[in-house]
């Protein structure tokens, strides 16, 4: 291994406690090499799997569960830390002030972002009694694998049916549900159940899932002051190609 390789150790936001089998909360990452960067830049229909595999390859010790099956909070945290280990914590941004229109160039410190850690009290958020049907739902954390599957199935259904319908809403809702009235439904049963849900119930499920996702992981808000008028602008970094490069 080249002596220019950087290693850093981090603690997962979930503390490794949210999984069926607890895992170590300590993760050591090395900086990416050109081979990983080439894989990252290559087109793929499963972008989350590509990045999850790269993160795993850059781990000094593999976790008991695939990064692909970690909650989004842990995955995004590891993605962020991999970028920091590889390129450093400086993140250059160009932002247009909504108050005066001035374009501001700034450098954010990614190491300064707040890490939101798991707390046992969050467990109660996963249980919902739906307001319209009265069904008792147990939610689950979304994973990178879920997001790839939702995208794949949405694309497949649009191709098969040729209907102008947003199948992503259907599959997103399905992949958020763990049990219905204490039962694990088959994929066919679950799809039939979700298709018949009133939108009031669907909105409740998705809103609660968004609340849960925000509880564990990184607070990605970055505050920048406009050079012209002093207005404080709130933006977020995005895990897109330019975030890494």
Residue 2 lies in a domain: no
**Is residue 136 located within the same domain as residue 105?**
no
Residue 59 DSSP one-character state: B
**Is residue 181 located within the same domain as residue 65?**
no
Give per-residue pLDDT as tens, 137-179: 999 999 999 999 999 999 999 888 877 778 999 999 999 999 9
Produce one character per residue of 211-239: b if its CB has 16 or more CB atoms within 10 Å, e if not: ebbebbbbebebebebeeeeeebeeebee
The pLDDT-based confidence of 36 (bands split at 50, 70, 90) is very high
Residue 47 lies in a domain: yes
The SS3 assignment for 37 reads helix
**Is residue 17 located within the same domain as residue 101?**
yes
Q: Is-above-0.75 flag for pTM?
A: yes
**Into how many domains does the chain fold?**
2
Residue 129 lies in a domain: yes
Residue 239 lies in a domain: yes
**Is residue 85 located within the same domain as residue 205?**
no
Instruction: Provide the terminal-to-terminal Cα distance of the chain, rounded to the nearest Å.
Output: 23
Give per-residue pLDDT as tens, 78-129: 999 999 999 999 888 888 888 898 888 888 888 888 999 999 999 999 999 9
Residue 1 lies in a domain: no
Q: What is the rounded distance in angstroms from the CA atom of residue 172 to the CA atom of residue 143?
A: 11
Range(s) of the domain holding residue 58 = 7-117+217-244
């Amino acid at each position: 291994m080249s002596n220019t390789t950087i290693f850093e150790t981090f603690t997962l936001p979930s503390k490794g406690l949210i999984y069926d089998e607890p895992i170590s909360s300590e993760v050591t990452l090395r900086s990416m090499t050109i081979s990983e960067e080439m894989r990252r830049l290559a087109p793929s229909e499963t972008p989350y799997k590509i990045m999850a595999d790269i993160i795993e390859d850059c781990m000094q010790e593999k976790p008991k569960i695939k990064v692909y099956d970690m909650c989004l909070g842990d995955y995004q945290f590891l993605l962020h830390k991999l970028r920091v280990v590889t390129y450093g914590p400086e993140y250059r941004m160009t932002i247009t002030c909504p108050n005066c229109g001035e374009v501001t160039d700034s450098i954010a410190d990614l190491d300064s972002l707040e890490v939101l850690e798991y707390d046992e009290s969050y467990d109660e958020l996963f249980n919902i009694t739906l307001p319209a049907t009265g069904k008792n739902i147990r939610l689950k954390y979304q994973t990178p694998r879920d997001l790839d599957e939702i995208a794949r199935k949405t694309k497949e259904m649009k191709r098969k049916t040729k209907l102008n319908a947003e199948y992503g809403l259907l599959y997103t809702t399905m992949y958020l549900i763990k049990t219905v009235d204490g039962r694990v439904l088959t994929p066919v049963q679950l799809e039939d159940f979700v298709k018949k849900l009133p939108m009031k119930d669907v909105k409740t499920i998705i809103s609660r899932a968004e609340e849960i996702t925000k509880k564990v992981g990184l607070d990605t808000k970055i505050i920048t002051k406009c050079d012209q008028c002093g207005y404080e602008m709130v933006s977020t970094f995005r895990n897109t190609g330019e975030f890494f490069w």
